[in-house]
Structure 1
Amino acid sequence: MRGCRHRAGRAARRRRQKFGNTIQSVSHQLQYVRLMKFLHQRGFTSTLLQPALFTDTGRGLQTFRAIKPGQLIISLPESCLLTTSTVLNSYLGQYIKSWKHRLSPLLALCVFLVCERHRGEASDWFPYIDTLPRTYTCPAYFTDDVMAVLPACVRRWALEQRQTVQEFHSSNQDFFSSLQPVVSQPVEDVLTYAALRWAWCSVNTRSVFMSHPPNNFLSGQDVYALAPFLDLLNHQPDVQVKASFNDATRCYEIGCVSGTLRYQQAFINYGSHDNQHLLLEYGFVASSNPHSVVYVDTDLLCEVLKGDKSLNQKLQFLKENNLLHNLTVSGEGPSWRLMTALRLLSMPQTLYHQWKAVLLGQAVCEEREEWSIHTAQTLCERLLQDTHTALDKIKDLLQLCDPSVREQLDVVKALRQEERCILGRSLVMLQGIMRQPEELLPCQPDVDNVS
């Protein structure tokens, strides 16, 4: 027995020497001890992963041993998943089933989370709810000052998210009132906007996709499942995994395509998302994201091209042909969609009959191509100027804000810093083309850029 302890201590020292202070195990903390006991009672066993705190990503899951390519890293039994079936079979079921209107699956899950959190340790799901974040860095939580330093496109989407959550709360007051018998305080003090916002973000950021059969009590697509322990896995853009519910084993399974080394953080991939999408939907920004882009807002196009008397007609034509959204710039330069839009915008109204041909990839003359590249350069310069202004404002705000706002600003700061790098590289590329006009950008679309 002494020899075993000696080997374990030596291995622990090697791990500390190799990784320094970048990884700290938290599996011994009470909330995680409770979580694992709760899951074990429901049939889950994990011999590959343990909760840990990482300096770069925060909470995550660390491997006990090397994971081979194709090996399952998590197999979570259906009994551990929190779904609408869980809600309908609970004390809330009778209220949902008898309500005059069918509720959405999202609302059912959110109300259940709020009520269970209200019940505290009396809740069967307390060991899981106790591990959920208390707040989130999604736009629904952003203060007005944080909203103001977002990029224009992202700000518009963020305000829409905030409005969605506000309406989610305000439009369901009658149903909330019907739940007074199940809560120990006035229902308006339990199902508050802040509580619903927390639940909405919990489901939106942490649920996995799992299709459920339709029922007579809920309306809309039912694809949510909250997955305790599994939802501690963080996102990495270049990781490949296979994730789905296995009807044969009745488990939600995640398999690692490429494998993971021992004592490393295990990652999954939330999808091929740029950082704007990750911030909006999940509240974080991924470093070294190969999908990173900067969006060009229509308002900026209008401002730069305000001298064109036929601008409105051209913009309407682009809109009708589904080419006025998703206009982006990457580190490799303007996207095909953006350059196609600029090529069309470069053409006079007298050549209206050629507009469609431009959308299909027909080359424009050298003069109009140079105008398009110069305009792309102007757009990048304006965006870069806005980014610098926002970063200066963020720097000022960080000196005055409280910790919760600091977390929000740190996420937006990371996004803005990435934008600065992307726009800088794109400008260098465009300036090189202007010096060597024979290297004009292609008129034919790349397959990946067509949507």
Structure 2
Amino acid sequence: MSESYHSLLSWFHAEGGYIHPAVTVTSLGEFGRGIVVTGSDRVKEGETLLSISNSSRSLLRASNTAHSIVLSVIEDDQYSDWWEASLLVLAECVRHDSLWRPVFQEAPNEYTCAVYWTDEDLAELTGAGSSWLLEQVNFERRKLQEEYLAVKRLILDYYDKESIFPEAASTFENYKWMRAFLKTRGFDFEVKGKDISVVAPVFDMLNHSSEPTVVNTRIVLNLEDDIVRAIAKRDLNRGEQLLICYDDTSTNADLLCRYGFIPDGNPNKRVALPVLKNLPGCEDLASESLWVQSSGKISPSLYALLDQYFGSDLKSLYEALLANVARYLQSWSHSVDHYRTTAKVGSTYVSRCIASVFAEEHDILTAFHTAVSRHLTGDSLDVLYQLCQ
């Protein structure tokens, strides 16, 4: 392990952090790092694997900053926990005397989430038709640029004369890095109706699984003792990696766009259909709410949309939907073989992931088209009614 990693661990322990003696941060090659059970004794269900006080200086919180101006800006009621962390990272990540310097030194210089994709990676989007991923990447890039300009104008430039946000902190590259850092390393909790965002060092080395039976660790924030904990969901044996679920509703396209990877065994097999947004009055609908599954099931939002434009005749509704799906598939069917090849031997990890997502989308939509076509007969419409529920 690197010197920066050992500095991070020493700092984490000095700030009151706890790591179970039977677990160790381990290099996983292409997949970065993970936390693995290395002790000879089995870890018991319910044991605490990691912990840190929610009031510890090791967490990125406004009360821990040395800058009174940053503190006053952040404590304005208009700023959420997310903005608190954003401004703190921008102000602190370029400071050599920052309390969190060990955290920033150990973090990657670049990420594989959508805002960091190169022109070579984005070339894989060519011919992808109306893919949700293509739409989402374009949206993320526009949003990032707009956010940066707004923050720079309203905050960074205004406070620059106080040397709180020096020039190095105010660049677009630094802002992009901050967004990726927080997106991939933040934890969101809902405790007693309150949304709480936490960036907890070392906890961010816990990797993801989309398979419920594989996830063996959970993260909890207990407001009574104000401690963030990683707890074993079952007994763990030597050699097992600690795995959490970042989001149990995300598709592979969602995970790739936000975190920069796709997992094995994701049960969320659905495809959003942005192509349907060309219907009048639907421009502002969220594409991810208009989805279909390979089984033939469609989202409630999609059913309501189709019912609005095609009436309550279920057969006509589904025939219109199948026509849309067919056009969607046809728009990039010539590229499917390319995607399948690239998914196996792509030039970069991201290009392989992008191609894999597109091939998966094509397979799901093809299966959806087959499943629905089979039920478009008079005596099978009851099945379609069930798929709308």
Question: One fold, TM greater than 0.5?
Answer: yes
Which residues of 2 match residues 335-414 of structure 1 at below 5 A? 335=298, 337=300, 340=303, 344=307, 347=310, 355=311, 358=312, 364=314, 368=316, 371-372=319-320, 374-375=322-323, 378-379=326-327, 381-382=329-330, 385=333, 388=336, 391=339, 406-414=348-356
Provide the C-alpha distance between the structure 2 equivalents of 1:343 and 1:99, rounded to a whole number of angstroms: 44
- Which moved further from structure 2: 328-337 or 232-241? 328-337
Provide the C-alpha distance between the structure 2 equivalents of 1:340 and 1:210, rounded to a whole number of angstroms: 31
1:164 corresponds, among 143, 149, 164, to: 143
Provide the C-alpha distance between the structure 2 equivalents of 1:128 and 1:339, rounded to a whole number of angstroms: 43
Answering whether residue 38 of structure 2 is matched by residue 64 of structure 1, we say: yes
Q: Is contact 1:387–1:420 with CA below 8 Å preserved after alignment? A: no
Answering whether residue 174 of structure 2 is matched by residue 195 of structure 1, we say: yes
Answering whether residue 33 of structure 2 is matched by residue 38 of structure 1, we say: no
1:333 corresponds, among 296, 299, 322, to: 296
The answer for the alignment partner of 1:93 in structure 2 is 68
Residue 342 of structure 1 deviates from its aligned partner by: 8.7
Cα 1:155/1:371, change in 2 over 3 Å: closer
Cα 1:39/1:394, change in 2 over 3 Å: same
Residue 227 of structure 1 deviates from its aligned partner by: 0.6
Q: Secondary structure at the match of 1:255?
A: strand
What whole-Å deviation, never above 9, does each CA across 1:369-400 have from its counterpart, x for those lacking one? 773575366256336617628728968x956x
Residue 341 of structure 1 deviates from its aligned partner by: 6.1
Answering whether residue 259 of structure 2 is matched by residue 292 of structure 1, we say: no
Q: Is contact 1:139–1:159 with CA below 8 Å preserved after alignment? A: no
Answering whether residue 151 of structure 2 is matched by residue 176 of structure 1, we say: no
Residue 127 of structure 1 deviates from its aligned partner by: 1.6
* Count of residues paired in the alignment: 372
Unaligned runs of 5+ in 1: 1-25, 214-220, 303-311, 348-354, 400-405
Cα 1:417/1:256, change in 2 over 3 Å: farther
Provide the C-alpha distance between the structure 2 equivalents of 1:337 and 1:278, rounded to a whole number of angstroms: 23
TM-score using structure 2 length: 0.78
The answer for the alignment partner of 1:52 in structure 2 is 26
The letter for the 2-side match of 1:332 is S
Residue 440 of structure 1 deviates from its aligned partner by: 4.7
Larger Rg: 1
Q: Is contact 2:17–2:50 with CA below 8 Å preserved after alignment? A: no
Which residues of 2 match residues 97-108 of structure 1 at below 5 A? 97=72, 105-108=81-84
Query: Bigger relative contact order, structure 1 or 2, given CA contacts below 8 A and separation 6+?
Result: 2
Which residues of 2 match residues 13-32 of structure 1 at below 5 A? 26=1, 29-32=2-5
Residue 192 of structure 1 deviates from its aligned partner by: 0.5
Provide the C-alpha distance between the structure 2 equivalents of 1:335 and 1:90, rounded to a whole number of angstroms: 48
Q: Secondary structure at the match of 1:224?
A: strand
2:231 corresponds, among 231, 245, 255, to: 255
What whole-Å deviation, never above 9, does each CA across 1:232-283 have from its counterpart, x for those lacking one? 0111112265432123333101223244332111100112211222123222
1:245 corresponds, among 208, 221, 230, to: 221
Unaligned runs of 5+ in 2: none
- Cα-Cα RMSD: 3.9
The answer for the alignment partner of 2:385 in structure 1 is 444
Provide the C-alpha distance between the structure 2 equivalents of 1:118 and 1:182, rounded to a whole number of angstroms: 12
The letter for the 2-side match of 1:176 is L
Residue 409 of structure 1 deviates from its aligned partner by: 2.0
Answering whether residue 65 of structure 2 is matched by residue 123 of structure 1, we say: no
Q: Is contact 2:17–2:51 with CA below 8 Å preserved after alignment? A: yes
Cα 1:205/1:285, change in 2 over 3 Å: same
Q: Secondary structure at the match of 1:284?
A: coil
The letter for the 1-side match of 2:33 is R
Residue 229 of structure 1 deviates from its aligned partner by: 0.6
Answering whether residue 56 of structure 2 is matched by residue 82 of structure 1, we say: no
Provide the C-alpha distance between the structure 1 equivalents of 2:46 and 2:300, rounded to a whole number of angstroms: 37
Cα 1:346/1:328, change in 2 over 3 Å: same
What whole-Å deviation, never above 9, does each CA across 1:286-341 have from its counterpart, x for those lacking one? 22210121222235x75xxxxxxxxx5xx54x899x89862223232352548846
Which residues of 2 match residues 227-246 of structure 1 at below 5 A? 227-237=200-210, 238=212, 239=215, 241-246=217-222
The letter for the 2-side match of 1:208 is F
Cα 1:374/1:409, change in 2 over 3 Å: closer
Residue 343 of structure 1 deviates from its aligned partner by: 6.5
The answer for the alignment partner of 1:138 in structure 2 is 113
Cα 1:100/1:386, change in 2 over 3 Å: farther
Cα 1:344/1:417, change in 2 over 3 Å: same
Q: Is contact 1:209–1:225 with CA below 8 Å preserved after alignment? A: yes
Provide the C-alpha distance between the structure 1 equivalents of 2:353 and 2:171, rounded to a whole number of angstroms: 26
Provide the C-alpha distance between the structure 2 equivalents of 1:377 and 1:95, rounded to a whole number of angstroms: 50
Answering whether residue 88 of structure 2 is matched by residue 112 of structure 1, we say: yes
The letter for the 2-side match of 1:142 is W
